[in-house]
Amino acid sequence: MRPEDVDVPEEALSETFLAATGPGGQNVNKVATAVQLRVDLFRLGLHPDAYERLKSIAGSRVTGAGELLITARRFRTQEANRADARRRLAEMIAAAHIVQAKRKPTRPSRAAKAQRVEKKRQRSAVKQARGKVTFD
């Protein structure tokens, strides 16, 4: 699933604007350009496995009430920060839908085991040849 394909219901989102730090000069002191996007994870209607993966991807950004907090303050305008927050949310949801392939445990072949033992034997012979020198 690509981030462009993610459809987030508007009723699951709530936005608040707050004063941002960073670029903007005096504008930063006057205008609340940073966006704090709150997403109610239960209202997204995700599959339980995708929900668990999203919680692990989001980490500490998930509150105890099951809300995901995304703060966007990279840009100088509210609209750009809103778009950035929603893009990051879409990327997280798309990543949560990716199922990791199960690892199949493998064993070394008989030839690989024999080769390893032979190399150990050769290395042992080299080290044994380094024995103490006797002056007779």
- Quick one: pLDDT at residue 94? 87
Residue 15 belongs to domain with CATH number:
3.30.160.20
| Residue from 75, 6, 3 nearest 34 by CA | 75
pLDDT (tens digit, 9 = 90+) per residue, 66-123? 888 888 888 888 889 989 998 898 888 888 888 888 999 999 999 999 999 999 999 9
Please report where in the chains the tokens 């709150």 appear, as a residue: 38
Structure token digits, residue 122: 């050769």
Residue 56 domain flag: yes
Structure token digits, residue 108: 């070394």
- Quick one: pLDDT at residue 115? 97
3-class DSSP state of 7: coil
Structure token digits, residue 55: 């919680």
β-sheet with 13-18: strand ranges across: 13-18, 34-40, 67-72
The model carries a pTM of: 0.66
- Quick one: pLDDT at residue 1? 64
User: Higher confidence at residue 132 or residue 90?
Assistant: 90
User: Higher confidence at residue 24 or residue 96?
Assistant: 96
Residue 104 domain flag: no
Structure token digits, residue 36: 């704090």
- Quick one: pLDDT at residue 119? 97
Domain count across the chain: 1
- What is the span of the domain harbouring residue 91? 3-96
Residue 25 domain flag: yes
Amino acid occupying residue 29:
N
Residue 133, pLDDT above cutoff 90: no
